Amino acid sequence: MKLVQARWYHQGRISPIRLIVVHSMEWVERPTTAEECAAMFARMNRQASAHACADSNSVVRCVRDQDTAWAAPGGNADGLQLELAGFARQTRAEWLDDYGQGLLGQAAGVIAGWCRAHKIPVKKLSRAELRAGKRGITSHADISAVYKRSDHSDPGTAFPWDVLLGRVRAELGGKDDGQADVDVPECKRRLSWPPTTKGDDVRTWQRQMRKRGWRLDVDGWYSGVDAEVCTAFQKEKGLLPTGVVDERTWRAAWTAPIT
């Protein structure tokens, strides 16, 4: 990432990094929004900053990981702050339009790098977990609600957390440390199922997908209908939509958030 050093920040940290905090910039979506926001942090008089700013085609670093950005009071000392182009008022469809898809891809790359570097689980924390000091990913809105030191509500109630986290997991090769406590059954069959595949593993996957609310028969046959469900599920979770149950898709059936 290109570095445009923010004016306001603390050198060093007083607490180990445990959080990734996602913000919306409240800034119009343009291909240069990340650069514009970073330039603002570099020169403005208001005492605020973030570690990185992302738009649809680029990410600009503003504060190094080892230093403390001023973005979310209560979540600054132990947080990494990521600003996304857009507005908290956006609908889910607006977050997932062509610009948003590029933005989420850029954001996923940054978050995956942070998760890997700082051993942060790919997990959206509940407010109770945030308050309890758990490690994971959160929003400025949740920081405000838990610590009562700001009134921000970004990135908004319609932000597509499921898609973002799915893309982060894809960046990490399907790993999901935040769901390590979930019992994912072993699959005895090689995971790459075309239609006409049959067996107990198929039945196990079908049963789990039924639990998640998908309409399919639990008959042990991986049919064209199952492939359609698989494709839709992969799109929902930010996985490559192949219609084939691979290792990431199998694991996501048990670990991905239910939306």
* pLDDT reported for residue 142: 98
Residue 33 belongs to a domain: yes
Shortest CA distance to 103 belongs to which of 58, 137, 140, 138? 58
Residue 187 belongs to some domain of the structure = no
Residues 16 and 90 in one domain: yes
**Which pLDDT belongs to residue 177?**
52
Q: Which residues of the chain have pLDDT under 50?
A: 178-181
Distance CA 168, CA 205 (A): 23
Predicted local confidence at residue 161, as pLDDT: 96
What is the CATH number for 37? 3.40.80.10
Residues 159 and 222 in one domain: no
- pLDDT tens for each residue of 19-52: 999 999 999 999 999 999 999 999 999 999 999 9
Is residue 129 one of the residues assigned to a domain?
Answer: yes
On whether both 149 and 54 belong to a single domain, the answer is yes
Q: Which of 146, 176, 206 is the last residue of a domain?
A: 176
pLDDT at 178: 46
Task: Give the Cα separation of 159 and 13 in Å (integer).
Answer: 29
pLDDT value of residue 217: 93
Task: Look at residue 183 in the predicted model and tell me its pLDDT.
Answer: 67
Pair (18, 85) in one structural domain: yes
Are 130 and 36 found together in one domain?
A: yes
In this structure, are 17 and 83 located in the same domain?
yes
CATH classification of the domain holding 211: 1.10.101.10
Distances from the Cα of 27 to the Cα of 42, 49, 96, 209, angstroms = 16, 15, 17, 39
Q: Is residue 185 part of a domain?
A: no
Domain extent for 218 = 197-255
CA distance 123 to 211: 21
Number of domains in the chain: 2
How confident is the model at residue 174, as a pLDDT?
A: 74
Domain boundary among the residues 112, 144, 176 is at 176
Q: How confident is the model at residue 180, as a pLDDT?
A: 46
